[in-house]
Amino acid sequence: MPVPKFVEIKQYICQRIEAGEWPEYSQVASENQLAQQFSCSRMTARRALTELCEQGVLMRSQGLGTFVAELKSQSSMLAIRNIADEIKERGHGYSVQPICVEPRLAQAKLAVALGVPNDTQLAYSELVHCEDGYPIQLEQRFVNPELVPDYLKQSFESLTPHEYLSRHAPLTQATHTIEAIAADQAIAERLQIALGEPCLQISRRTWSSQGVVSFALLTHPGSRYRLGGQLPLHES
């Protein structure tokens, strides 16, 4: 079955972005140019651009055109950042404690999150990221090995999962939710905190142009971490 033209256009744009040919804030081809290039109607080209704008991959500027957007979560204005970079930018020491990298089967919730059948074998990694020696984030990540086949071969001692995925399955979209939880026994042990201590937990899904790449639970001790973001305000 042939790929619809608007999907073909979306894949083309995402591939150019992932290849670094169209960096953040660079202008992409217009509806007319895309329609001519792909031998389709302007309406089809507009649909491709509109859907990518809705997904946060592109952004429109009235009267100027369509541009490559900064990668941001759809559910908030918080940028997707590498925890190691955050810590180093604060002038503190970063270290990591790898717990495991192993295959695990996708149960119902994970299967839905990653868009795979139940009992699909996933790649799973669990690490504790530390700032000046103190655990600041427990990262539990499930990855679709069809999209990132060598994930299980990584130790993540010198490269974080975020960095590895950014290189091998560049992100085009991300969504996340943030909630307050109480540390259970496993979380308390990993983060070296008291049982029941308040934590911030981020549930995050990331996509590449090929589909959903990963589902991660990122848990932070509330006493050592805070989330911040900047909301752009527009005059009416």
Residue 203 lies in a domain: yes
What band does 146 get if pLDDT is binned at 50, 70 and 90?
very high
pLDDT digits (tens, 9 = 90+) for 95-118: 999 999 999 999 888 888 888 888
pLDDT score for 19: 75
Residue 229 lies in a domain: no
pLDDT of 91 above 60: yes
For residue 170, the model assigns a pLDDT of 85
- Per residue in 3-43, pLDDT (tens digit) is 789 989 988 988 888 777 888 888 999 999 999 999 999 99
In this predicted model, which residue has the larger pLDDT, 151 or 174?
151
Token pair 């981020």 is found at 202
Q: How far apart are the first and last CA of the chain?
A: 47
Do 87 and 165 reside in the same domain of the chain? yes
C-alpha distances in Å from residue 45, one per residue of 133, 202, 208: 51, 35, 20
Q: How confident is the model at residue 211 (pLDDT cuts 50, 70, 90)?
A: confident
Q: Is the pLDDT of residue 155 over 50?
A: yes
Residue 209 has pLDDT above 90, yes or no: no
Look at residue 75 and tell me if it is in a domain: no
The answer to whether 215 touches 205, Cβ cutoff 8 Å, is yes
Q: Which residue has the higher pLDDT, 56 or 146?
A: 146
What's the rounded Cα separation, in Å, for the pair 56 and 17? 13
Per-chain mean pLDDT for the chain = 86
Q: Which residue has the higher pLDDT, 69 or 154?
A: 154
pLDDT at 137: 95
In a domain? residue 236: no
Per DSSP, the residues of the chain read -PPPHHHHHHHHHHHHHHTTSS-TTPBPPPHHHHHHHTT--HHHHHHHHHHHHHTTSEEEETTTEEEEPPPB-SSSS-B---HHHHHHHTT--EEEEEEEEEEEE--HHHHHHHT--TT-EEEEEEEEEEETTEEEEEEEEEE-TTTSTTGGG---SSS-HHHHHHHHS--SEEEEEEEEEE--HHHHHHHT--TT-EEEEEEEEEEETTEEEEEEEEEEETTT------PPP---
Instruction: Look up the domain containing 188 and give its range.
Output: 83-221
**190 and 106 within one domain:** yes
CATH label of the domain that carries residue 181: 3.40.1410.10
- Single out the residue of 77, 81, 59, 83 nearest to residue 69, CA to CA: 59
**Overall domain count for the chain:** 2
pLDDT of 193: 95
Q: What is the pLDDT of residue 234?
A: 43
Same domain (yes/no): 38, 114: no
Residues in the chain: 236
CB 168 within 8 A of CB 146: no
Look up the pTM and report it: 0.67
Are residues 108 and 170 located together in one domain of the fold? yes
